[in-house]
Amino acid sequence: MTRSVIDPITRIEGHLRVEMEVTNGKVSDAWVSGGCFRGMELVVQDRTPEDAAQIVQRICGVCPISHAHASSIATERAYGITISNNARIIRNLLEGAQFLHSHILWLYNLAALDYVNPLNALTADIADTYALAEAAGTSANSDFAQLKDRLKNFADNGQLSIFSGNWFDAEDGTAFKFPPELDLICTAHYLEALQMQAKASQISGLLGGKMPHIMTLIPGGTAFVPTEQKLDDLKALVDELHAWVTTTVIPDTLALAQYYPEALEFGKGCGRYIAWGVFERPSMEYADRYLPMAVLDENLNVSDVDEHLITEYMGHSWYKGDDTYNSPYFVTDPDFTSYDVNDRYTWVKCPAYDGKPYEAGGLSRVLAAYKRNVPEIVDMVDDMLKALGIPGQIAPIQSTLGRTAVRQIETVYIANLMQQWVDELIEAVKSGDSEYFREPQGITGSGTGLWEAPRGALYHSEEIKDGKITGYQIIIPSTWNLAPLNADGVHGPMEQGLIGVPVGDIEKPINALRTVHSFDPCTACAVHITEPATGKSFETVTGPWGVK
């Protein structure tokens, strides 16, 4: 039996362990273990919904706005509030800024180093680098010669700073395949992405009062009131982000496809998708959102969502009992025992829709919009399929590389919408519309906020009596994707996605890492691999940026 423990997998958020068994060079079984218990449902008990919208943001520093949004929607549905048009636009802009920040962060600073090797860029020809960037249609805003010198200084000093501790030396013939010039371009974009994230967070801070945990998104609308100066600043930031995103993210992901086509062949997951929808249109209808709500079965047939078909099973998670609870429910009763893949092995509950595991995330949202015939999404997906050499074929993008690439369609779509929303807000202010907040007519009721975080379907449900919360439940996106075995012994989406992944280097299973990162899990990871055929044993301990 071969055993490899990587603790933690870096470049994700939180704590996660993935245990895999490898047989004949492929993953034959997998178990995903989330190592975080937050219990935020217990924290907001007996508090006001207004408090909850602030507190639940502390679940995550990457997607706090989505939690505030879902919580506020739950309250608004409990109280019968429909927010004003100005509040709708401002909340869309807040959410859009967070999505852009998260998508840029994930592609370049979390996932890219599974494919991009900055060390290889040391042999790049500078003239050829500029020519390649021009031919690919991607941005060439950086001084490539200066960057090459900086990388050389890192290497000469025996350290790679933020690029250290990755698997650039994996003993796998397919591990890193970019030519030096493309590695230099993508390394430049890694650094540019850090600046673009900051621009997105500036938008969130401008509209939200601060970031990462904003103050202005509240039940009933927004506490932000735009001024002429703030609108000017907002437009400038949105335009700058739009210019970078629309010239960078899709060309770079198409470059991945050119050199790593095999990543379209593994990491499929469960093949079913959920999207609660995000970004409100004036109708405020779930199915009419800019990215609409949909449930897609294994044949990608679309249906509307029935909240009461959402369940969570506890039998393999560190909670009391082995019951299955139907939505909405308000049970959070932690009970850690021990790590045992044959029994309980994770803090992540096991959500299901109509009794089956479903994948959430960018791929789910884009597929939902594609099947709902959102024109801009349909055009961009069809264009990407042509560029990938698979026109009209949806199946291959249900994969590790497809999940990575398709999410960038959403990035460009949101960047386009951000410009539209800024113009709408400017026109509304010019027209004299000054309504941003609406009071509740009553303070008792129940409601569910079905929304999306960048990583996928987000659920907040609450019961309120006389202005105080008597019950609260949250299902975050990574709970869907990291779900353990269900009561029937069926693996969750990431576990299914890992099964069948090729492993060329048992000590550095780069394709498994690529697959984990493609789901963008909101946890930090350890990966544990077994290969019964060899009986080898191996352990690697990693620091904050990788192997020490």
Q: Please list the active-site residues.
A: 13, 60, 63, 67, 455, 478, 522, 525
Amino acid residing at 164? S
Whether 61 and 212 have beta carbons less than 8 Å apart is answered as: yes
User: Which of 493, 537, 532, 531 has its CA nearest to residue 515?
Assistant: 493
Report the 3 state secondary structure along 253-264: HHHHHHHCHHHH
CA distance 465 to 189: 51
What is the spatial distance between Cα 157 and Cα 287, in angstroms, rounded to a whole number?
55
- The H or E element spanning position 73 is helix 64-79
Count of CB atoms situated within 10 Å of the CB of 135: 9
What do you get for the CA distance between the two ends of the chain, in Å?
24
Contacts of 546 (CB under 8 A, 6+ apart): 10, 164, 165, 166, 167
- The closest alpha carbon to 517, from 263, 311, 273, belongs to 263
Edge-first strand listing for the sheet containing 525-531: 26-34, 16-23, 525-531, 2-9, 537-543, 546-547
CA angle at 359 for the pair 90 and 309, rounded to the nearest 5°:
85
Q: Are 268 and 491 in contact, with CB atoms under 8 Å apart? A: no
Report how far residue 155's alpha carbon sits from residue 169's, in angstroms, rounded to the nearest whole number. Answer: 14
Q: Could you give the 3-state DSSP secondary structure of residue 335?
A: coil
Helix axis angle, 180-208 to 85-104, nearest 10°: 150
Distance, in Å, from the CA atom of 467 to the CA atom of 73, rounded to the nearest integer, reads 15
- Segment (H or E) for 531: strand 525-531
CB 346 within 8 A of CB 32: yes
Degrees (nearest 5) of the Cα angle 185, 186, 190? 120
Helices 85-104, 64-79: axis angle to 10 degrees equals: 150
Element (H, E) at 237: helix 228-246
Q: Is the peptide bond before 8 cis (omega within 30 degrees of 0)?
A: yes
Strands 350-353 and 310-313: antiparallel
Q: What is the 3-state secondary structure (H, E, C) of 380-418?
A: HHHHHHHHCCCCCCCHHHCCHHHHHHHHHHHHHHHHHHH
What is the enclosing helix (H) or strand (E) of 427?
A: helix 400-430
Q: What is the DSSP letter of 455?
A: T
Residue 415's nearest CA partner among 146, 19, 100, 57 is 100
d(CA 166, CA 318): 32
